Amino acid sequence: MQEVREDITVDEYFKDYVPKMFAEQLKGATISDMDGTVAKLTFNVDSGGQKNTYSLVITDAKDLEVISGPVDDALVTLDMDESVWRDAVTGKLGGAIDMFTDVNKVANRARFEKLKDIKGSLVLDLTKPDGSPVNMSVTFNGAAEPKAVFKCSLDTWVQISSGEVSGVNAFMGGQLKIEGNMPLAIELSALVG
């Protein structure tokens, strides 16, 4: 995988890098039972008050279309400021958004079906090792409410989203704090990892 330059623009990333990354990931992906699916993901990147919006439309987990702007009926909409986005795409926040961008995670029929049923939003209130905050929000199927807030270290989030640690174990061990709508938080824990 080619590295993402520190000075890459949001436009360059989505138009040039994402299709190459998708094609490369697709070569090694295990795709099962994804015929007839369309996953729409929208990324809103706030660059000092200017919102850069790009959408990915993934059909049958095999075909990618990058669209400049939002799409109707997005399964997932991620909102973050440019510094968080840049750290995520250049590897400084490794794993922070992989659950939404990795073909191997997207190309799972059971996960896709769960995703279609979730209504609400998740606010991620993460902390880097140096103590600085990483904030982003994820809206599922266009529904801002109900809302759940997950608070944890970036390291814990990466362990949860990679499946290395379950959200339940992180919560029970005090590494993950949850605020807001608990039924939604439980539903989201089935999606994460």
- How far is 124 from 141, CA to CA, in rounded Å? 17
**pLDDT value of residue 40:** 94
**pLDDT value of residue 143:** 96
- How far is 160 from 96, CA to CA, in rounded Å? 10
How does pLDDT run across 69-125, given as a tens digit for each residue? 999 999 999 999 999 999 888 887 766 676 666 666 767 888 888 889 999 999 999
Low-confidence ranges of the chain (pLDDT < 50): none
**pLDDT value of residue 123:** 94
**pLDDT value of residue 193:** 55
**pLDDT value of residue 96:** 67
**pLDDT value of residue 146:** 97
**pLDDT value of residue 42:** 96
**pTM for the full model?**
0.90
Beta carbons within 8 Å of 142's beta carbon, 6+ residues apart: 73, 74, 77
Coil, strand or helix: which one is 114?
Answer: helix
What are the structure tokens assigned to 28, written together?
């090694």
